[in-house]
């Protein structure tokens, strides 16, 4: 993931979603949220992929960090717009990461980024 490497336990927010047809403003807001999340206390990293279904996983030091980020004023506005315009449906899961391991090919340099 982007951000700081830490050993478990830490926390993950798994956000899975399907978009509506109304994507105006979405990409800019999503980029802003990634930028803003990275400045929050306890932020460890974020990863996203989309192919129809979108999956974003953000990583956090503890539940208090997640709770604070959920209540950030700019994030609240993004959440409002998401419900009003951008998301057909979504599911949020908060999970405690207990184990982690990585693989990287030797020809890719040393270890994952």
Binding site for its own copies (CB under 8 A): 1, 8, 12, 14, 16, 20, 47-55, 57, 83, 87-105, 108, 112-113
DSSP state of 84: I
At closest approach, how far in Å is the CB of 102 from its own copies?
4
- Of the pair 24, 113, the CB lying nearest its own copies is at 113
- Of the pair 35, 89, the CB lying nearest its own copies is at 89
Give residue 58's Cα distance to chain centre.
3
In Å, what is the CA distance from 67 to each residue of 42, 45, 109?
Answer: 11, 16, 37
At closest approach, how far in Å is the CB of 1 from its own copies?
7
- Of the pair 25, 108, the CB lying nearest its own copies is at 108
Q: Which distant-in-sequence residues (6+ apart) come within 8 Å of 53 by Cβ?
A: 16, 17, 18
């Amino acid at each position: 993931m982007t951000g700081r490497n830490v050993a478990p336990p830490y926390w993950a927010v798994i956000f899975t979603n399907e978009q509506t047809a109304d994507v105006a403003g979405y990409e800019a807001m999503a980029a802003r949220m990634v930028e803003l999340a990275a400045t929050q206390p306890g932020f460890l990293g974020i990863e996203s992929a989309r192919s129809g279904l979108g999956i974003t996983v953000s990583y956090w030091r503890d539940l208090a960090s997640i709770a604070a980020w959920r209540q950030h004023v700019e994030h609240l506005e993004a959440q409002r717009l998401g419900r009003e315009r951008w998301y057909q449906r979504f599911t949020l899961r908060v999970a405690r990461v207990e184990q982690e391991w990585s693989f990287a090919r030797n020809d890719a340099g040393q270890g994952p980024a």
